[in-house]
Structure 1
């Protein structure tokens, strides 16, 4: 369980940095984005690339970037 939390956090943190988001989601937000992004990334892109504790890391990061871009509310319209 702890490995899953750490991996989700790292995936969400890297995806947040890659998408250049200005608003902060906190640790729980990064973990949730990492988990959902990992699931979506493996569903869309498969299981290729380097693995971190059994998780294909590149598809997980790509999926987390998609989740951030599509589903997390942005404050651009104020």
Structure 2
């Protein structure tokens, strides 16, 4: 059951981040899920471990803090992917 929730929350986070970054038309459902899950892990690490923001450990969780830091991590991931030329 945890995997299903991770996929659903990852899809939501990836979709929101793609809307923010303007890559929604380039991403499908699978890309949104992958960007959401990897972006949440990146957000938890970057904002929680590196910057020491306490609530960032909830990134990817279904709470306001979890969704916020998950989306921020996914936005950072899309930004890096745009720099690498994967998204335009």
Q: TM-score normalised by the shorter chain: which range applies? A: 0.7 to 0.9
3-state SS in 1 of match to 2:74: helix
Aligned CA distance change for structure 1 residues 22 and 37 (closer, same or farther; 3 Å): closer
Unpaired segments of 5 or more residues in structure 1? none
In terms of fraction of residues, the more helix-rich structure is: 2
If the length of structure 2 is used for normalisation, what is the TM-score? 0.72
Work out which of the residue numbers 70, 74, 78 in structure 1 matches 2:87: 74
Aligned positions, number: 74
Deviation at 1:64, TM superposition (A): 0.2
Partner Cα separation in structure 2 for residue 74 and residue 32 of structure 1: 14
Unpaired segments of 5 or more residues in structure 2? 49-53
* Structure 1 segments (4+ residues) deviating >6 Å: none
